[in-house]
Amino acid sequence: MHAATVAPELAHKADHRNLWLVGVEARGTTTITFRFRIPRRVRPGLSEYVEVQRQATHAFAHLHLGVPLDSRAVLSSAQTCIGVVRAALPSTGSVSVRANIEGRAARGVVDIDVGFRFTVDGSAEGNGPGDPGLGIGEGRITGKYLPPRLYARLRAAEARDDASAEAGVFGQTGQVIEELAIEPDNPILADHETDHISGMAVVCAAERLAAKYFPARRLRELTTRFFAFIEKSEPAHVVLQAAGDRIATTVTQGGRVRARVEGGFAATGGEEAA
């Protein structure tokens, strides 16, 4: 079946080269299945799969929920769990998006709560052996789409302090603190201009720090929660903690927690099946 193309603006991209959704494979009453392809120059990790979810969320919201293209997305959470851990994750496959709730609109605000299922075709180049349609992971994204004027009012208002900057996940031991660095050459962050530091920058930082301090371990799941906007005008810091197979990265700025990423490492001893 030939997949219908996806316009870059549906995934909130201006340049088609940064669009990782290569087509719509199927549309149902509550689901859309997209074909995705991560660029060859990228070694896929969980961050790349979260980016596929992010692009698919936007396309689903516009195609299925009828969210206007000029709406501004404010994500609350993003979760990804890959049940098959390999030396390299597949760079191509399909992602099915389903609505856990139908978008409720009030004053133009649309709630979003969508689930994902990743599948790969064993015959696809770079995926290695496997059965066609092999399910390799799942995910979820929640948030809202706001009209531009309401988004502007939200950004002008002072963010509520949703958590204490001292709130550690595993206590105060084993912490690593670094300044939040934005990778200028990261293709996930390319063509993703925002008036604040994007949530994907947080996800990428969490995975980068996990790889830096735990190079022998491989993440199999990440759950990110966003509490407040991370501003570009002042430094933000990441606090990394680990306990057993769990890891947490907390982003603080101006004395407040702005985001937190919690993850789990794959069991040691080789490939893991879902």
Reported as a single tens digit per residue, the pLDDT across 188-245 is: 987 877 899 999 999 999 999 999 999 999 899 999 999 999 999 999 999 999 989 9
CATH for 160-274 is 3.10.129.10
Residue 7: pLDDT over 80: yes
Burial class (CB in 10 A: 0-12, 13-18, 19+), 95: buried
* Mean pLDDT, rounded, for 111-139: 75
CATH label, 1-157, candidates 3.10.129.10, 3.40.50.2000, 2.60.200.20, 3.30.70.20: 3.10.129.10
pTM (2 d.p.): 0.88
The whole-number pLDDT of residue 102 equals 65
**Same fold for the pair 1-157 and 160-274:** yes
What stretch of H or E contains 105?
Answer: strand 105-106
The runs of H, that is alpha helices, within the chain are 46-63, 148-156, 199-213
Range scoring the smallest mean pLDDT among 87-91, 101-105, 141-145, 182-186: 101-105
Residue 75: pLDDT over 90: yes
> Residue ranges of the domains in the chain?
1-157, 160-274
Number of residues assigned to the chain: 274
CA 11 from centroid of its chain's CA atoms: 13
Q: Phi and psi for 230 in degrees, rounded to 5?
A: -100, 115
* Mean pLDDT, rounded, for 88-108: 84
Task: Map tokens 């004027």 to a residue.
Answer: 149
The whole-number pLDDT of residue 103 equals 60
